[in-house]
Structure 1
Amino acid sequence: MTVDAQKETLEFKAEVSQVLELVIRSLYSNKEIFLRELISNASDAAEKLRFEALTTASLFEDDPELRIQVSVDKTAGTVTVSDNGIGLNRQEVIDTIGSIASSGTRRFVAALSGDQAKDSALIGQFGVGFYSAFIVADRVTLLSRRAGLDQEQGVCWSSDGRGSYTLESIVKPTRGTDVILHLKDDEKEFADDWRLRSIISKFSDHIAVPVEMAKQEYKPATDENEDSAAENKTPEYERVNRGTAVWMRNKADITDDEYKDFYKHLSHDFEEPLAWAHNRVEGSNEYNALLYVPKRAPWDLWERELKHGVKLYVRRVFIMDEADKLLPHYLRFVKGVVDADDLPLNVSREILQHNRKIDTIRSANTKRILGLLEMLAKDEPEKYQTFWDELGRVLKEGPAEDFNNRERIAGLLRFSTTVTEGTAQTVSLDTYIERMKEGQTKIYYITADSPAAARHSPHLEVFRKKGVEVLLLSDRVDEWLVTNLLEYQGKSLQSITKGELDLGALADEEEKTKTEQAAQAHGDLIKRLQTALGERVKEVRPSTRLVDSPSCIVVGEHEMSANLARVLKSVGQAAPSSQPILEINLDHPLVQRLESETDDMRFADLSFILFDQAQLAEGGQLDDPAAFVNRLNTFMLRMMLSGA
């Protein structure tokens, strides 16, 4: 029964149609996946109902036994997956089914590469598993009613996946959701009871909610076959899956394939996990934890408004879908389950924040994941590099968030350096320390807004000359990292763009003496530069950093770096104003030409050019680019006219 007044046809957005086409095209070689995804969604709906019913028992209505039923109608050519879980109201259907992971659809489309294999791997990450039904069906119908709503507030969604879908209000006596797949003519192999049973055993055996099928093939009565109506009573259903939660089983009894299948169910990821850790903790605080490290970064990793976390159970009763207090924020990429034995069933988010047992579990989970990553880094470096390339940036948040594990996290970090080629971050701090020059006591680094700006910075010139390795940091999070990671293994981290350059035992005493003498010998030049630049600079001084470049910008030892100031401004935050220090290379021809200039106006123009190009070399933005261009053009024209 429908309420036609509320029936409407809605068009898919262009990007949604693109996602549908990708899903249908890319997963054709693994058609069975549709049933796993639909059962997984049904299981989630059952768990959500169980959670909400902890405080509102009436949501169970008159049906407290949660279940998922899979049925086949060979005559109609349909497969139906039904659950009596939480269900959906009309707006939820529009938001979650009609929009395909509405918060991530555009990001999903932006991530498409055109490579079919790579693009298909993105599907699960973006929560579009429901649409895998269109691999085998030319039409999908969804009937749903949210628990607690009146029967008249059911909703019917239907689509052929091509350009639009219909939405209408229906009367639905039972809560939950029925997904009806109208199979394509060449996919009728799935209208087979035993075929579906084998798929359920393969992919969904671990689902805690009972997955049921009719004991014998059931043929519904039709208008043409009314005589059989009396014989076709409601079928008896039997459980098909074992329903033993993977995390509760003995590790020795679980195969790698079972671990991988459970991860795919848990995360809706179509790719296998990179690694996992499974533990049973006994004692005063007993719990099971099964934690996974994904192979690819979740699409919403940097969405700050979204929650991240693992599933929390208490004695196998689902409590919370994204328990963010069970792991620190910098490990938000971890997927998994924690099942505690003795937390109160009415546990709430507020209790989680102040519960000591939760803090204990959080600490143990953190150490477990760090240990898993350490093992990967040591024993399977290629796998660890895969992890780092995908998720390394978020791990860099760790030293600021987790003081107790700061050293362990630092040991897992990887960097690009002046020794490595390209932008690949492959060098650990331990490797850097092993390669340190004799007499070197510090870990040197430079931060910049791009890999190229870091690698070509004039500040690196003396380090290249002496063969000293420097970390090249160009991720935005790197500024946050070095602000909170001041040392590692007793070696302090030192920015090469701050303060006086201190090379310690690496410094050449003869060079020091030469620089001091040069400062005295060229004192007039330094004073003239200081006067010409005025308040633009805090100080002008001879440089011990430069070899080939004429000048560079330096900030004070305890001042904010120029790169961090740019990062803050780019996100709309105020950065404290400070005057930079201009260092000049007294051996450079441009500086020597400047020193010989007697015309005060031309001297001022050259001084500004020297200062502005130093800012540009660091990736900075000029206050007055047009003035810089005019001065530079005037200077070049004068040089050409003079024949110099």
Structure 2
Amino acid sequence: MTTKTQEITGDISINTENILPIIKKWLYSEQEIFVRELISNAFDAINKYKKIKISEGVGDITSKGKIKIKIDKDKKTLTFADNGLGMDAEEIQKYINQIAFSGAEDFIKKYKDKDEKNQIIGHFGLGFYSAFMAAELVEINSLSYKKGAQAVNWQCDGTSKFSIKPTKKTEVGTDVILHINKENEKFLEESKITELVKKYANFLPVEIEIDGKLTNDQNPLWLKQPAEIKDEEYKEFYQKLFPFSPEPLFWIHLNVDYPFSLKGILYFPKILHELDSHKGQVKLFCQQVFVTDNAKEIIPEFLTLLQGTVDCPDIPLNVSRSYLQNDPYVQKISKHITKKVADKLNELYKKDKENFEKYWTDISPFIKFGMMNNHDFYEKVKDIVIFPSSSGDNTSLKDYLERNKDKNKDTIFYCTDKESKIVHLNMLKEHGLEIIFLDSVIDSHFINFLESKDPKIKYKSIDSEVDEHLIDKTAQNEIEDPKGNKALKEKIETIFKENLKNEKLKIKVEDLKSDKTSAIIMQSEHLKRMKDMSLMMRQKLPEQMFEDYTLVINTKSPVIKNILKLSETPNKGLNTEMLCNQVYDLAVLAQGPVSGEQKQRFIDRTNTILASLEG
């Protein structure tokens, strides 16, 4: 028989006079977590009562657990009511005045003086006292399941003072009543509380009502067996998690019970543009309660480009991120997730190549980023990386090297912008050379990474130098100017240097096999990669750093031959300087965009040349 409760007032047994202001200040930007903490406490009470009903044969075993949230704007109260096992006065003294408060106190003592306020996974551990982040007064009305128990009311205004007294309550369970302070009246809006319940407890296996309306889904898809789930169900669940998102490409269902517990679904999202690849979101749950969507110590960083859910019931959540980084259990989970993702990609590549290639544009940034950041992932997927090729098909690097081993052994030709490099591209294609296309901002960094992994393979941009396959090695460098004893190449070089008057520009004369191109611009591989990487990293480096270009002039070109003749027999309307600059500008235009000033000079000069033509 429980003794009758007398009204009690007193001080909560803590060393700190008042840690609640510290809690409020320390977690100011995350006040909303009190919703999760109070729902978690209510769910815990319901679960315990369910076990007691079975073991002790008390209460109605058929009644369902339920959490009811009630909003009273007039009284400015927010109530969390559960039909769990309840508490009597003695238990409130023990669990609220001592254990709960000391737990919150320990939590704050451990972290308040460290620069870790945003480094605690989920901020679990504050528990009941997180309610004071939004309330000026908190009440508890509770009736224990114990026979003869008397309902009690507990009150605290955020200081160390409390009171306990008898109250009227007929149903077993606990009501936590928050008297919301003026600064936090947003928590009296049904839409706000609904949003938070869906965020933190949408998949909790107990009904949660807000003012009588069922709010949550108690059966998350990740708890079902994969064999029982249809594709449409996976897609519908994705829309619940990420409303208005395009349909996912494919997904992985995680379902592990041993040696650790891990469940979840990871989706590969449709990426609308490259920047989207940084906006993935993997939601971490602990026993179906939302913890965070920023758990890079548990979810490998490169996998956060994906979207979905991971439920890890055994992860310690009230510890710092630095602790988790070295936790063996967490490392095992991280490795397992990495393996499952790599296995799925390999399976798709081998069994459904057509769809794999169709998805490639969307998944390639994630795969490349993962390879550069995780060695295990690199080893598992390195042979399934594909690139669009000038052959018209996609190719793996292994297949490319095998196909071209007789032409360009251990060299891979690549192009980063086929529209602006069309001249270079066509020159190589004419001579049977295959080019892969790198069309992602991450690719300049990626090829550096690939070279570091296999130094014997070289990646050569098609506009970095004239490949030997394009040069006519049978051409004779004849003496063109007997008086000055200058060979043909030397004379052409002299003409262009004298007329272009550009000291920064290097000039090189080559006997190209084709006579279609008069001149092309080349930039060193090193500078080209540096420029591409600076663009990728959004670094604004001085343009002068990259002004190291080479003008390659083709001796076989009829245009160059005419310039040679003109240099010896001047024309009234045309002059060598004008044509040399025209050839240079044509090469620059073929390389890419030019300044407005340079474009105007080119147009004016072109008009002059056309006007000088005789009818």
Q: TM-score range by the shorter chain?
A: 0.5 to 0.7
Alignment partner, residue 25 of structure 1: none
Distance 1:584 1:325, change over 3 A: farther
- Select the residue among 601, 604, 609 that pairs with 1:630: 604
Alignment partner, residue 526 of structure 2: 558
Q: Secondary structure of 1:268's match? A: coil
Tell me the alpha carbon deviations over residues 620-641 of structure 1, each in whole angstroms, 9 at most, x when there is no partner. 4246332222222222222x1x
2:265 matches 1:297: no
2:603 matches 1:606: no
Distance 1:330 1:340, change over 3 A: closer
2:559 matches 1:585: no
Alignment partner, residue 471 of structure 1: 436
Distance 1:516 1:559, change over 3 A: farther
2:146 matches 1:177: no
Q: Secondary structure of 2:204's match? A: coil
Identity of aligned residues (%): 20
In the alignment, is the contact (CA less than 8 A) between 2:411 and 2:457 conserved in 1? yes
2:524 matches 1:524: no
- The AA in structure 1 aligned to 2:575 is R
Distance 1:266 1:593, change over 3 A: same
Tell me the alpha carbon deviations over residues 52-85 of structure 1, each in whole angstroms, 9 at most, x when there is no partner. 349x957989998799xxxxxxxxxxxxxx9749
Tell me the alpha carbon deviations over residues 381-425 of structure 1, each in whole angstroms, 9 at most, x when there is no partner. 3322332233434544444434554465554444332222xxxx8
Tell me the alpha carbon deviations over residues 157-178 of structure 1, each in whole angstroms, 9 at most, x when there is no partner. xxxxxxxxxxxx7994999636
Q: Secondary structure of 1:584's match? A: strand
Distance 1:589 1:329, change over 3 A: farther
Unaligned runs of 5+ in 2: 1-28, 48-66, 74-130, 137-177, 196-200, 480-485
Distance 1:550 1:252, change over 3 A: same
2:406 matches 1:438: yes
Distance 1:413 1:372 in 2: 14
In the alignment, is the contact (CA less than 8 A) between 1:582 and 1:611 conserved in 2? yes
In the alignment, is the contact (CA less than 8 A) between 2:284 and 2:310 conserved in 1? yes
Q: Secondary structure of 1:323's match? A: coil
- Structure 1 residue 551: Cα displacement: 0.8
Distance 1:385 1:290 in 2: 26
Alignment partner, residue 148 of structure 1: 134
Alignment partner, residue 548 of structure 1: 516
Matches within 5 A, 1:86-485: 148-149=134-135, 172=188, 177=193, 207-211=203-207, 243-252=218-227, 254=229, 256=231, 258-268=233-243, 273-281=248-256, 286-294=260-268, 296-297=270-271, 301-302=275-276, 308-353=280-325, 355-406=327-378, 408-420=380-392, 426-436=394-404, 438-449=406-417, 451-454=418-421, 456=422, 458-485=423-450
In the alignment, is the contact (CA less than 8 A) between 2:69 and 2:209 conserved in 1? no
Alignment partner, residue 31 of structure 1: none
Distance 1:53 1:173, change over 3 A: closer
In the alignment, is the contact (CA less than 8 A) between 2:194 and 2:215 conserved in 1? no
Alignment partner, residue 497 of structure 1: 463
- Structure 1 residue 244: Cα displacement: 5.0
- Structure 1 residue 585: Cα displacement: 1.3
- Structure 1 residue 339: Cα displacement: 2.7
In the alignment, is the contact (CA less than 8 A) between 2:134 and 2:181 conserved in 1? no
| TM-score normalized with structure 1 length | 0.57
Distance 1:332 1:385, change over 3 A: farther
- The AA in structure 2 aligned to 1:604 is E
**Which is further off, 576-585 or 596-605?**
596-605
Distance 1:309 1:540 in 2: 52
- Structure 1 residue 487: Cα displacement: 7.7
- Structure 1 residue 147: Cα displacement: 7.8
Alignment partner, residue 122 of structure 1: none
Distance 1:368 1:568, change over 3 A: closer
Tell me the alpha carbon deviations over residues 434-465 of structure 1, each in whole angstroms, 9 at most, x when there is no partner. 5326343145334344x4224x2x22344222
Tell me the alpha carbon deviations over residues 188-242 of structure 1, each in whole angstroms, 9 at most, x when there is no partner. xxxxxxxxxxxxxxxxx9933423689xxxxxxxxxxxxxxxxxxx98x99996x
- The AA in structure 1 aligned to 2:524 is G
Matches within 5 A, 1:73-84: 84=69
Distance 2:304 2:215 in 1: 35
Distance 1:570 1:147, change over 3 A: closer
In the alignment, is the contact (CA less than 8 A) between 1:461 and 1:546 conserved in 2? no
How many aligned residue pairs are there? 451
- Structure 1 residue 498: Cα displacement: 1.7
- For the aligned residue pairs, the C-alpha RMSD in angstroms reads 4.9
Tell me the alpha carbon deviations over residues 352-376 of structure 1, each in whole angstroms, 9 at most, x when there is no partner. 4554544443333233223212221
